Amino acid sequence: MDTTMAIRVEGLHKQFGRGKRQVKAVQNLHLAVKVGQVYGFLGPNGAGKTTTIRMLLDLIRPTSGAVTLFGQPVFGSAGVLRRVGALVEGATFYPYLSGRKNLEVLARTGGYYDAKRVQAIIEQVGMADRADRPAKGYSTGMKQRMGLAATLLGDPDLIILDEPTNGLDPAGIQEMRLFIRDLADKQGKTVFLSSHMLNEIEQVCDRVAIINKGKLVREGTVGDLLDEQSRLLVEADPLDKAQAVLGANWTLHSNGGRHLTVEARRDAVPDIIRKLVENQINVYQVSPQR
């Protein structure tokens, strides 16, 4: 039993329908998430992220392939799911109960009710002043916060979050990012974070898997994937002089105005800036073209 891996996915396939209506939602997916990581699952809407998460949680069965959590198979072994907390496709509550009462119901039915822990989690997610209002009056952001609180009730080792910043304002998004990092860094949790927002994944995750049309496109550390970007956006003036200086070493594309696209990796940035400055060219920015 491999206890160093919180999640291992091997050859996962999922298709819906048959014949001409067949949809291959996930195709030959392989993932390995180490214990203690914040792991990003990045892709556009419809890429297969939520379908994958549902298979991780045994909510739907794959067409083929295997999923293990903490070394135990998910399919046919529900016990390991007690170590998992999940927020998938938004949070839903009893509208006539307060947020606190909803959490208490969940905790009691799960067999881990503790009034002090419920209060502590409410404070953690920033809902202390709104927890006793009826849930029917909650905004989307407030529901997301309470949904996160619900995932933490059983003190899970693995936390799976599907688009957790939906409905949050910029301040709330930043709070969520810090909270997710604290779950891993201070509490030793493993977090599997699904999102379609590159910026969100880049700022909070240790590793990232990029999925599109059900297929794994790339996987690696955030730093490695950023370093692999092969185009840089250069803003300089005068532009014709910058083109002459840089064109001797790199392939260039003009974007008009004061911008150039340079076909070069991020580790070329110091050389590019040095050559421009040495030739008395004003440099306003050099950044990876995303």
Q: What pLDDT does 61 receive?
A: 92
Looking at the fold, whether 183 and 271 belong to one and the same domain comes out as no
The whole model's pTM is what? 0.80
Q: What pLDDT does 226 receive?
A: 67
Q: What pLDDT does 290 receive?
A: 63
Looking at the fold, whether 222 and 240 belong to one and the same domain comes out as no
Looking at the fold, whether 272 and 208 belong to one and the same domain comes out as no
- On whether residue 18 sits in a domain, the answer given is yes
Q: What pLDDT does 278 receive?
A: 92
Looking at the fold, whether 163 and 284 belong to one and the same domain comes out as no
* Assigned token pair, 160: 């799976």
Determine the structural domain holding residue 211 and report its residue range.
5-94+155-226
- On whether residue 17 sits in a domain, the answer given is yes
Looking at the fold, whether 251 and 173 belong to one and the same domain comes out as no
Q: What pLDDT does 1 receive?
A: 54
Q: What pLDDT does 112 receive?
A: 85
Q: What pLDDT does 25 receive?
A: 92
Number of domains in the chain: 2
Question: Which residues, given as ranges, of the chain have pLDDT below 70?
Answer: 1-3, 78, 226-229, 255-256, 290
- On whether residue 38 sits in a domain, the answer given is yes
Query: What's the CATH number where 172 sits?
Result: 3.40.50.300
Q: What pLDDT does 2 receive?
A: 59
- On whether residue 119 sits in a domain, the answer given is no
Looking at the fold, whether 183 and 217 belong to one and the same domain comes out as yes
Where a domain ends, among 226, 246, 267? 226
Looking at the fold, whether 79 and 162 belong to one and the same domain comes out as yes
pLDDT in tens, 7-64: 999 999 999 988 778 888 999 999 999 999 999 999 988 899 999 999 999 999 999 9
Looking at the fold, whether 70 and 192 belong to one and the same domain comes out as yes
Looking at the fold, whether 166 and 86 belong to one and the same domain comes out as yes
Looking at the fold, whether 190 and 270 belong to one and the same domain comes out as no
- On whether residue 59 sits in a domain, the answer given is yes
Query: What's the CATH number where 256 sits?
Result: 3.30.70.120
Where a domain ends, among 187, 203, 226? 226
Looking at the fold, whether 174 and 214 belong to one and the same domain comes out as yes
Looking at the fold, whether 175 and 252 belong to one and the same domain comes out as no
